[in-house]
Amino acid sequence: MPIHFFEPFPWRFCAICGETLILENDGEKLRPFCKNCQRYYYHNPTPATCCFVTNTGKDLLLTRRAIQPAFGQWTLPGGYMELGETTEESAARELLEETGIVAEQLKLLGISAQPSKLTGTILVMGFIVEKWNGIIRAGSDVSEAEFFQYDQLPPLAFTAHKELLRLYFQETNR
């Protein structure tokens, strides 16, 4: 069954000249277009990352969100990429911000997408943290950071995290 991806708030005016945008076909589909600047506006996915961290391979680190969306729910450590970051840098930064631990070795697990009422689509890249150090503590955006045994994981808040968790279990034979 296909996932419905929400359209973000539509642009109404050109960010460059302020002219009212019209819908025009760019050869593929109707998109917001500025006649004055001859520029199309695209609704592109918003990139984010998340991390799979284990302690001796037996437990998985999760964080409880302290902000919306999904306030109070459990997720994998992660968040939106910043401009100029690589995906690995984003994953390591978010892990440090949310849990206080430093990722020393990361491996791309896979990519998933989920709908977002705010941005349209969030493209989430999941990383396995193969080596890390530090003392775990709840950092920015989270109220708790805790390891859970695989058979006692609480429900995850985000669709993309659930899909990547299934892939993680397949890839690691758990």
pLDDT digits (tens, 9 = 90+) for 17-27: 999 999 999 99
Q: For residue 101, which of 153, 142, 47, 58 has the smallest C-alpha distance?
A: 142
User: Going by C-beta distance under 8 Å and a sequence separation of 6 or more, which residues neighbour residue 89?
Assistant: none
98 in catalytic set: no
45-59 confidence digits (pLDDT tens) = 999 999 999 998 789
Q: Is 128 helix (H, G, I), strand (E, B) or coil?
A: strand
Look at 124 and 120; give whichever has higher pLDDT: 124
List 85, 88, 97, 144, catalytic entry:
144
pLDDT at 5: 46
Is 38 found in the same domain as 55?
no
Residue 136 lies in a domain: yes
pLDDT at 1: 36
- What's the confidence (pLDDT) of residue 91? 99
135 or 6, which is more confident?
135
How high does pLDDT run on average in the chain? 92
Confidence of residue 4 (pLDDT cuts 50, 70, 90): very low
Structural domain including 18 reads 10-43
Q: What CATH number does residue 126 fall under?
A: 3.90.79.10
Structurally, how many domains does the chain consist of?
2
